[in-house]
Amino acid sequence: MTALGSQGSIGCAAPRPALFTAYPRLAAHIAHLPLGDFPTAIERIPGLLPGGCELWVKREDRAGLRYGGNKVRKLEFLLADAKRRGAGSLITIGGLGSNHVLATAIYGAGQGLSVDAVLFPQPIADPGRAHIRQNLLAGLAAGLRPHVCRSYAALSWTLPTTYLRLWRSAKAQASALTYVSGGGSNAIGTLGWWSGGLEITQQIERGEAPRFDAIYLALGSGGTTAGLLLGLGGLVPVCSEIVAVRVVPWPLSTHAAVQRLAGAALQHVGAALDVRFSLAAFPRLRIESRFLGRGYGHSTPEAQHALSRAADLGLRLDPTYTAKAFSALWADDQAGRLRGKRVLFLHTYSSQPLAVAGDAALGLRSLPAWLAAALDRG
Ligand SMILES: Cc1ncc(COP(=O)(O)O)c(C=O)c1O
């Protein structure tokens, strides 16, 4: 494995991720592309919560100029690895309005990779409708080739057949196709948030942020939480609890799924990591299931309340992930559980303005008619 510079060149001096500053030997073994704008700031937000907790926000929403959010760190490792293996194209998977698919389309195109995505259904109703429409149009503007499934059942044949077709076409052009896991959560994507956790630790050690009693974040495919656990699990405890708020139902997003990803990331770096972890220094992981509502992409009254209260203070949350995570934090604070505590909220949704193709109608016309009609309703 080789360290890649921003153009994929070897040995180019570029911003180093916290993973490499903490474990310099890894830089010679793990491929990395500097795509984002790191470290992201940790800011104190006064006056937002009702119950007296001290709220800080990790501004991951500003993780990249072209698109922010929690996928940028994952893609720095995923795209570097794909390029190292000679990929000219990527295929991934996500919901209709997936932030992961959009981030992969934007940053993949920036690296000269073509991006196909198999999209599975999610509720197309307000307030999520505008979000799905905007993400799809921005994805199309970035060159995304969507393969839309009308049902979950359709996923089981659309994914393998699309993969096979693209794999054959890449092979015919002497190129390679790389599959990027849903949410960017596999061993390599998890390195991104291992690095993110180390970045938080380093910010605390430099005095740029205090130690935290708890970190709240949204839990989807699990790579962010798994990486964060590894990054915060150094010898010095900097946070006692991670509260991962489930936005997808069981059996996805379980303790076991998070542990599997953390284990896979550790195994991936393998012998190149000459550090022993102390289990005692790992934050406790609480998976919070009460704020999921009817399922992935279904809004809840608590999330809508969180969304508008956060907007009052200039934080732009999304209905599917961050609003549910924030509603859990709000409820814990209101119940008095966080009185006198210091809490970090991981703002994982991009706040960068999106480049959407000039002609939205044209973009919508490239989607199946039932989907275009559903997105234009309301
Ligand atoms: C805005 C946002 N927050 C949080 C998450 C959850 O991250 P993970 O899938 O790594 O659990 C996602 C995943 O798509 C996301 O888009």
Question: Ligand 1 centre from 219 Cα, in Å?
Answer: 6
- Report how far apart, in Å, the C-alpha atoms of 176 and of each of 87, 88, 111 are: 4, 6, 14
Which atom of ligand 1 lies closest to the CA of 223?
10
Q: Are the C-beta atoms of residues 352 and 68 closer than 8 Å to each other?
A: yes
Query: Three-class SS of residue 245?
Result: strand
Nearest partner of 37 among 85, 107, 99, judged by Cα = 107
**Mind listing the domains of the chain with CATH numbers?**
23-70+193-346 (3.40.50.1100), 73-184 (3.40.50.1100)
Q: Are the C-beta atoms of residues 331 and 291 closer than 8 Å to each other?
A: yes
Task: Give dist(CA 246, CA 252) in Å, integer.
Answer: 9
**Best residue for ligand 1 mutational test, from 40, 70, 347 (most atoms within 8 Å of Cβ):** 70
Residues with CB under 6 A from ligand 1: 69-70, 99-100, 183, 185, 218-225, 318, 321-322, 348-349
- Report how far apart, in Å, the C-alpha atoms of 40 and of each of 58, 61, 161, 163, 197 are: 7, 8, 39, 35, 12
Question: Ligand 1 centre from 92 Cα, in Å?
Answer: 15
**Best residue for ligand 1 mutational test, from 348, 350, 352, 354 (most atoms within 8 Å of Cβ):** 348
For ligand 1, atom 6, which residue shows the shortest CA distance?
Answer: 220
For residue 24, whether the previous peptide bond is cis, meaning omega lies within 30 degrees of 0, is no
Question: Ligand 1 centre from 345 Cα, in Å?
Answer: 13
Which atom of ligand 1 lies closest to the CA of 221?
9
Q: Are the C-beta atoms of residues 72 and 360 closer than 8 Å to each other?
A: no
For ligand 1, atom 16, which residue shows the shortest CA distance?
Answer: 99
**Best residue for ligand 1 mutational test, from 59, 60, 71, 352 (most atoms within 8 Å of Cβ):** 71
Structure tokens at 293: 């509502």
Q: Are the C-beta atoms of residues 257 and 286 closer than 8 Å to each other?
A: no
For ligand 1, atom 4, which residue shows the shortest CA distance?
Answer: 218
Query: Three-class SS of residue 332?
Result: helix
Buried b (16+ CB within 10 A) or exposed e, 259-275: ebbbebbbebbeeebee
Which atom of ligand 1 lies closest to the CA of 94?
14
Question: Ligand 1 centre from 10 Cα, in Å?
Answer: 31
- Report how far apart, in Å, the C-alpha atoms of 108 and of each of 48, 149, 243 are: 37, 22, 31
| pLDDT at residue 5, as a whole number | 34
Task: Give dist(CA 326, CA 332) in Å, integer.
Answer: 10
Question: Ligand 1 centre from 262 Cα, in Å?
Answer: 16
pLDDT in tens, the chain (378 residues): 333 333 333 344 567 999 999 999 999 999 999 999 999 999 999 877 888 899 999 999 999 999 999 999 999 999 999 999 999 999 999 999 999 999 999 999 999 999 999 999 999 988 789 999 999 999 999 999 999 999 999 999 999 999 999 999 999 999 999 999 999 999 999 999 999 999 999 999 999 999 999 999 999 999 999 999 999 987 677 899 999 999 999 888 999 999 999 999 999 998 777 777 766 678 999 999 999 999 999 999 999 999 999 998 889 999 999 999 999 999 999 999 999 999 999 999 999 998 776 666 777 888 999 999 999 875
DSSP 143-177: T-EEEE-SSHHHHHHHHHHHHHHHHHHHHHTT-EE
* pTM, entire model: 0.94
**Best residue for ligand 1 mutational test, from 107, 215, 216, 221 (most atoms within 8 Å of Cβ):** 221
For ligand 1, atom 1, which residue shows the shortest CA distance?
Answer: 349
